[in-house]
């Protein structure tokens, strides 16, 4: 039977994993919020801040991976503990991608910072961003609370982001068709919208991981998906 010191040490390592995930999530949330603020204000300085934070997210992901490898080698975890450890490394991977996608939005801001950007073009993007931010916050809370029901709710809401993305996609295509001079600007905004849609997908991945961590089973239903842009044609 393991002594109390060993058990306490093991529990500390598991808590440290959760702390690092929370730290990664906090930075990713901040990146996403600042990226949208930078785009709306066409603020290159703020966009540069978002880009610079990506190194912190990457470093935390590497740290988590190294800790997980060490824990598996030394502790040989089983059952709930193994799901906890493997869940952490999967969530870290998704958060790293969220950080990358926020960084990509910031890079689009740098590309269009000198352009005259009609506010109406940002309405859909801002709505997408608000949905993605809510998804990210809620799924991180679900992980912290080990709440599979809250994670499942995030999982079902991904269609809202997809539906908004479809609308933004059509609006920007129409804008480009009306005036070819808008093509460059709208292309950058399209990439920004796609990045937000992908962030929604990664929050859904995290929701699935939380459900598996808590329940020990995967979600049986097909993932809700509403992105129809691959088959969209305008008259």
pLDDT tens, residue order, the chain (235 aa) = 455 545 678 889 999 999 999 999 999 999 999 999 999 999 999 999 999 999 999 999 999 999 999 999 988 888 888 899 999 999 999 999 999 999 999 999 999 988 887 788 889 999 999 999 999 999 999 999 999 999 999 999 999 999 999 999 999 999 999 989 889 999 999 999 999 999 999 999 999 999 999 988 887 677 666 666 655 554 4
CA dihedral 11, 154, 199, 144 (to 10 degrees): -20
Total count of domains within the chain: 1
Rounded distance between C-alpha atoms, residue 139 and residue 59, angstroms = 22
CA pair distance 149, 15, nearest whole angstrom? 22
Sign of CA dihedral 185, 188, 190, 193: negative
Please say whether the beta carbons of 169 and 193 come within 8 A. Answer: yes
Could you tell me the two tokens for 219? 């979600």
Q: How far apart are CA 210 and CA 151, in angstroms?
A: 6
Q: How far is CA 200 from CA 36, 46, 69, 130, in A?
A: 15, 23, 28, 11
Q: Which residue has the tokens 């193994």?
A: 82
Domain that holds residue 94: 4-231
Report the CATH number that the domain containing residue 162 is assigned in CATH: 1.20.58.220
Q: How many CB atoms lie within 10 A of CB 100?
A: 18
């Amino acid at each position: 039977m393991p002594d109390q010191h060993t058990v306490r040490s093991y529990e500390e390592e598991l808590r440290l994993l959760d702390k690092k995930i929370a730290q990664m999530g906090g930075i990713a949330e901040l990146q996403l919020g600042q990226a949208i603020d930078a785009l709306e204000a066409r603020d290159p300085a703020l966009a540069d801040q978002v880009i610079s934070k990506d190194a912190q997210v990457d470093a935390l992901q590497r740290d988590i991976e190294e800790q997980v490898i060490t824990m598996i080698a030394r502790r040989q975890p089983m059952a709930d503990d193994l799901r906890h450890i493997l869940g952490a490394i999967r969530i870290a991977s998704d958060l790293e991608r969220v950080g990358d996608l926020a960084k990509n939005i910031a890079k689009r801001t740098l590309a269009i910072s000198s352009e005259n950007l009609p506010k109406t073009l940002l309405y859909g993007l801002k709505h997408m961003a608000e949905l993605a931010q809510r998804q990210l916050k809620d799924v991180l809370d679900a992980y912290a609370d080990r709440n599979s029901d809250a994670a499942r709710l995030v999982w079902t809401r991904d269609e809202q982001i997809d539906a908004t993305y479809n609308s933004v996609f059509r609006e920007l295509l129409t804008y480009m068709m009306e005036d070819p001079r808008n093509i460059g600007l709208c292309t950058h905004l399209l990439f920004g919208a796609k990045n937000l849609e992908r962030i929604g997908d990664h929050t859904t991945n995290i929701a699935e991981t939380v459900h598996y961590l808590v329940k020990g089973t995967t979600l049986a239903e097909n993932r809700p998906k509403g992105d129809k842009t691959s088959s969209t044609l305008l008259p």
